[in-house]
């Protein structure tokens, strides 16, 4: 009989060959090459960079909400065609990000990063809430996630609800904190797992909540490229 070490090395070799070809081994019964095994092969720290852009639909009101508010305005959000319900106050922003994504090897992980971006014209106002000029900003953020590696060489990541924490370090909101929901990211695994890609596949409404009481629905696009910072061969046999 093969030793456990020999079986792992054999499995690692099969995985490496298969992932290079774009197809991961799988077991119909969820056995040795099942979901748990495949998730275990994606392990370690990956550096990432990427871009994002968001369309906001904050709605409008006669006065701003109080700090601690977590609910969007009644006329905030999007219709079934992903268009803002209140068009006069809708706006967009764009940013770039850099950070690390840690895969624990058991389908869980964590993200930590920094983003820098700006809100360009046109912006809401002057008039009722919200109203503000164009600006640039920077923030730090972190959250937890779960992930799944599929036999076809793709992977998905879902944010753990309630785990997102962000803090503005530059711009008009300096010192404010915020939280949001990150929709599912889907991507592909490159040869030997050295590079990963990720993006949102469908428009999904999320709500960003600021510590000053702003709670704004938005739809964002995000793309990420991740590079393995560890030794891939070590990941395969750990």
Mean pLDDT, range 210-216, rounded to an integer = 98
The CATH T-level fold of domain 44-230 is Porin (2.40.160)
Cα separations in angstroms, 184 against 16, 146, 160, 200, 202: 26, 10, 10, 6, 9
In the chain, domain spans? 44-230
Mean pLDDT for the stretch of residues 182-188: 98
pLDDT in tens, 59-102: 999 999 999 999 999 999 999 999 999 999 999 999 999 999 99
User: Residue range 179-197: average pLDDT?
Assistant: 95
Helix H or strand E encompassing 118:
strand 108-119
Quote the pLDDT of residue 3.
31
Top pLDDT among 40 and 214 is at 214
Instruction: Give the residue from 163, 135, 153 showing the smallest Cα distance to 197.
Output: 153
Q: How far is CA 202 from the centre of its chain?
A: 13
* Alpha carbons 34 and 107: distance in angstroms, whole number: 13
- Kindly report, residue by residue over 140-184, the tens digit of the pLDDT: 999 999 999 999 999 999 999 999 999 999 999 999 999 999 999
Q: Find the Cα–Cα–Cα–Cα dihedral 69, 74, 77, 80, rounded to 10°.
A: 150
- Positive or negative, the CA dihedral 180, 181, 187, 193 is positive
% of the chain exceeding 70 in pLDDT: 82
**Omega cis (within 30) before 130:** yes
């Amino acid at each position: 009989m093969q030793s456990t070490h020999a079986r792992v090395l054999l499995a690692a070799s099969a995985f490496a060959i298969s992932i290079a070809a774009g197809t991961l081994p799988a077991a119909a019964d969820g056995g040795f090459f099942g979901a748990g095994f495949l998730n275990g092969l994606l392990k370690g720290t990956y550096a990432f960079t990427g871009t994002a852009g968001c369309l906001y639909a904050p709605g409008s009101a006669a006065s701003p909400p109080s700090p601690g508010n977590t609910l969007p305005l009644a006329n905030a959000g999007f219709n079934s065609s992903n268009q803002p319900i209140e068009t006069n106050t809708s706006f967009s922003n764009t940013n770039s990000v850099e950070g690390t994504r840690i895969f624990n090897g058991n389908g869980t992980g964590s993200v930590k990063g920094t983003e820098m971006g700006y809100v360009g014209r046109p912006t809401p106002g002057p008039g009722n809430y919200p109203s503000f000029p164009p600006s640039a900003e920077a923030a730090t953020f972190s959250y937890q996630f779960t992930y799944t590696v599929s036999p076809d060489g793709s992977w998905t990541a879902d944010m753990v609800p309630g785990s997102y924490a962000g803090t503005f370090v530059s711009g008009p909101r300096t010192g404010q904190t915020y939280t949001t929901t990150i929709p599912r990211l889907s991507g592909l695994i490159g040869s030997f797992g050295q590079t990963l890609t990720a993006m949102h596949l469908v428009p999904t409404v999320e709500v960003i909540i600021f510590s000053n009481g702003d709670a704004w629905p938005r739809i964002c696009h995000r793309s990420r490229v991740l590079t393995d910072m560890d030794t891939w061969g070590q990941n395969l046999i750990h």
